[in-house]
Structure 1
Amino acid sequence: MTPQWHRIDDGTLLIAGQPVPLPHPVKEALRHKDRLLILVEPPPDVIFNRNVFALSMHGELLWQIEESPHGTEVDKPYVNLHCDKNEWVIASNWNGLSYSVDLHNGAVSVAAFEK
């Protein structure tokens, strides 16, 4: 088992005990190999659709996710992150779309439509 190098404390991400500045509180963190994927939750009155970030083990920003290219709604942030059985990172939208996330650059492609 590898040591825990990050933690979430009341919506704040800490890496090696130091807070990492993010635009909104952290809702979810998903460790994937040598990076940490962070889902932030903007307030209800703020439109912030690129709400997933990839960070290095040192807190360096690697990329910010691409906005969902589907749907006519203006407000369509991602609502959760998980790894599927093939170890692909999946980011889901409240509008029923799940996207496979390219871990090199944050680009998305449709993985499933669930509505």
Structure 2
Amino acid sequence: MTETWHRIDDGILWIAGQPISLPQPVKEALHHNDRLLILVEPAPDVIFNRNIFALSMHGELLWQIEESPHGTEVDKPYMNLHCDKNGVVIAGNWNGLSYSVDLHNGTVSVAAFEK
């Protein structure tokens, strides 16, 4: 199956022609091996720090990311998602930390401090 098995239309994720229910609009999607990693954009008045999900190619929820364990602010959602040059999935947080994401369960570990 190619990367065309999903699409994002106006913040809504579609897999195999079916809309997938997510708690907030989709900001980014990252296809990695047999799964799709989704970063949703929390509304400005909503605290939603576990805003990355892993879905199967059939739209099944595999896991939801661990909340950033660092920082004193209550509101600290992930801001971006990408693969580094080694194929490791990295989730960036506004607090200046980038985390490597365990693709099996969504736990995070510090990859870099950028502030």
Give the TM-score, by structure 2 length.
0.98
Q: Does 1:64 align with 2:39?
A: no
Give the structure 2 partner of residue 96 of structure 1.
96
| 1:95 positional shift | 1.0
> What fraction of aligned residue pairs are identical, expressed as a percent?
86
Quote the residue 1:84 is aligned against: 84
> After TM superposition, which residue ranges in structure 1, 4 or more long, deviate above 6 angstroms?
none
Shift of 1:23: 0.1
- Deviation, 1:78, is 0.1
Does 2:46 match 1:41? no
Superposed CA offset, 1:37-61 (max 9, x none): 0000010100000000000000000
Q: Which runs of 5+ in 2 are unaligned?
A: none
- Number of matched pairs: 115
Q: What is the DSSP-based 3-state SS (H/G/I as helix, E as strand, rest coil) of the residue aligned with 2:4?
A: coil
Counterpart residue identity of residue 11, structure 2: G
Report the counterpart of residue 75 of structure 2 in structure 1: 75
- Aligned residue for 1:55, secondary structure, equals strand
Aligned in 2, Cα 1:112/1:3: closer, same or farther, shift over 3 Å?
Answer: closer
- TM (norm. structure 1) is 0.98
CA distances 1:81-106 after superposition (whole Å, capped 9, x unpaired): 00001100000001110000000000
Q: CA offset at residue 3 of structure 1? A: 4.7
Tell me, yes or no, if structure 1 residue 52 matches structure 2 residue 78. no
Q: Which runs of 5+ in 1 are unaligned?
A: none
Contact 2:38 2:52 in 1 (8 A): yes
Q: Is the 8 A contact 2:3 2:31 kept in 1?
A: no
